[in-house]
Amino acid sequence: MAAKLLDCGEIIAVDVQENRLKLAKMLGATHTINPKDVDVEERILEITKTGVNYAVDSSGFPEVVTQALNSLSQSGTVATVGGASLGTMAKVDMGKLLFERTITGVIEGNTIPQLFIPKLIHLFKIGKFPFDKLIQFYHFDEINSAVHDMESGKVIKPVIRF
């Protein structure tokens, strides 16, 4: 959604869940890739010819960070926002970093929440940032279903209501 909002050219979504890829397309992705079907790095190079300028990893899986790094253009940046725990190691080809590529960790968008959240709410209200498409509500007594749906990929962001 943010890439579309910023009018980025090629917006490539990668996921193993077809329902998420369909949603990504609906929210602005110009291309979708399912790693079960194709080699992610090869497909990104086919689409872009030179690699992507920016990649965002929201999975926390080390192999995804490696794929993202390998898919960068020269001077490209990977931002990892996934929930990897301390001690999780990703394999990095040091040669890839020599071409001014960057890997960075991001928490809460590296923003000032008091300024950024009101902007996001405004964009939501005018229909330009439909984050509600990512949310599924569950009652507290459905908490096990919420966790199962999240882990299976059925739901992107389960929200428990008390």
Write down all domains in the chain, each with its CATH number in brackets.
2-109 (3.40.50.720)
Mean confidence (pLDDT) of the chain: 92
Mark out the alpha helices in the chain (DSSP H runs).
2-5, 18-26, 40-48, 62-70, 94-97, 113-125, 143-152
Radius of gyration of the chain (CA): 17
* pLDDT, average across residues 13-38: 95
Could you tell me what percent of the chain has a pLDDT over 70? 100
CA-wise closest residue to 2 among 50, 45, 56, 49: 56
- The pLDDT score that the predictor gives to residue 33 is 98
- The pLDDT score that the predictor gives to residue 45 is 96
pLDDT at 84 over 90: no
Tokens of 79: 């931002």
* pLDDT, average across residues 66-83: 91
Whole-number Å distance between alpha carbons of 52 and 70: 10
Residues 6+ apart with CB under 8 A from 129: 1, 2, 5, 120, 123
pLDDT at 82 over 80: no
- The pLDDT score that the predictor gives to residue 24 is 95
- The pLDDT score that the predictor gives to residue 57 is 92
* pLDDT, average across residues 122-151: 94
